Structure 1
Amino acid sequence: MAGADGITDFVYGVVDAPDQLQHPLIRRLHDDWLAATPPEGLPGHGFADPLRLSYLLGLLVVMDVVRPENAGDLRFRYRLVGTDVVARRRRDVTGDFMDQHFDPGVASTGPLVCGLAVEQRRPVYLTAMRHMFEKHYPLEYIVLPLVDAGGKIIDRLVAAQIYPPETPRLPYGSASV
């Protein structure tokens, strides 16, 4: 993928142990999610409270889980995309479906990662490489399931994306991926 911008080299799976998570903010979010998890269930929408997660505000992504009317795959709609994520990707995808993402890697792999979090009812981690201007930047993500008011159906996901500090921030609206 030399010369092209985008995200590649995805590796993901269910979080089995906290030491799988490299970045301290990702580990903290995971720990906070575990602490908010009731004995028989999962945290609800209130977990994504900006005051609770203020240490990650610009790095958070909240997605709605959209279940098909008939048989079909789950879809994931971006409900909120943090300002830092928008600045690094140079586009705001709030309101868009993940499977229609402008980055083909995200469009194809993202729904698999999110679907795993829903199916397993557990956190999922992901690592990848961000390619930009002939350089490569490691990324780390975590996706956490949240349940509806009834406490049973996963209808929302909260995720955090960690970019290394040296990853460029470019003007919003750039045509590059």
Structure 2
Amino acid sequence: MSVKLGFDDISIRQDEWHLVQQDRDSFLQELTAKRHRDAYQYWLTRSPDNRLPAREDLDPVDIHKLLPWINLVDVVREKGNVRLRQRLIGTGLVQRFGRDATGAWFDDIYHPDYLQDHCHLIREVAETGLPSLTRIRYPDQEKRHVIYTRLMLPLASDHKTTDMIMQVMVFD
């Protein structure tokens, strides 16, 4: 069953700011939240020869403190299009957003306005293979704005083409 969230009576503001990694050292300095620094540094250690790590390169035991705040997004390339699917949503995120959409396609669960604002950033990470950091406002189930910062880290089964994105959230 698909349920689209309708937020017609509140504005969805996206991209209060958005930062893309240009070089590793300066990007790390921009990560002020410990959770983001820890995730990024771990991701770097799993990047063989500066290539993208695969999901299989990540060991949940190594990042157990981050798991409640991780969202894995499948990047599925079909006939020239990119579709996004919620692969895994951490328990902290489920509690914070008030629902578990694991396994759902983005276009089945999100309002079209949110898709337009939200998905281009995820697709940008998928296409460039570069991590990014974004500060976002998003309405929760009670239609209150939740403000959070999202670190997006690309993953690639072949170490080249992004097929999954690990997102790590920190809430204000």
Q: TM-score, normalised by structure 1?
A: 0.77
Partner of 1:65: 75
Per-residue deviation, residues 45-90 of structure 1 (Å, max 9, x unmatched): 124432121111111011111101x233x11111100111111111
Distance 1:123 1:41, change over 3 A: same
Residue identity matched to 1:138: I
Gaps of 5+ in 1: 165-177
How far apart are 1:103 and its partner, in Å? 5.0
Distance 1:57 1:136, change over 3 A: same
User: Which residue, 121, 127, 136 being the options, matches 1:113?
Assistant: 121
Whether contact under 8 Å (1:65, 1:154) holds in the other structure is yes
User: Which residue, 8, 14, 35 being the options, matches 2:13?
Assistant: 8
How far apart are 1:27 and its partner, in Å? 1.4
How far apart are 1:19 and its partner, in Å? 2.4
Provide the rounded CA distance (Å) in 1 between the counterparts of 2:69 and 2:103: 17
Residue identity matched to 2:101: V
How far apart are 1:116 and its partner, in Å? 1.1
User: Which residue, 25, 31, 38 being the options, matches 1:21?
Assistant: 31
Provide the rounded CA distance (Å) in 2 between the counterparts of 1:113 and 1:19: 21
Partner of 2:170: 162
Provide the rounded CA distance (Å) in 1 between the counterparts of 2:143 and 2:55: 39
Provide the rounded CA distance (Å) in 2 between the counterparts of 1:106 and 1:26: 24
User: Which residue, 131, 139, 143 being the options, matches 2:152?
Assistant: 143
Residue identity matched to 2:48: P
Matched-pair identity in %: 25
How far apart are 1:105 and its partner, in Å? 5.4
Q: TM-score, normalised by structure 2?
A: 0.79
How far apart are 1:107 and its partner, in Å? 2.2
Distance 1:101 1:107, change over 3 A: farther
Partner of 1:30: 40
Provide the rounded CA distance (Å) in 1 between the counterparts of 2:145 and 2:89: 23
Whether contact under 8 Å (2:46, 2:58) holds in the other structure is no
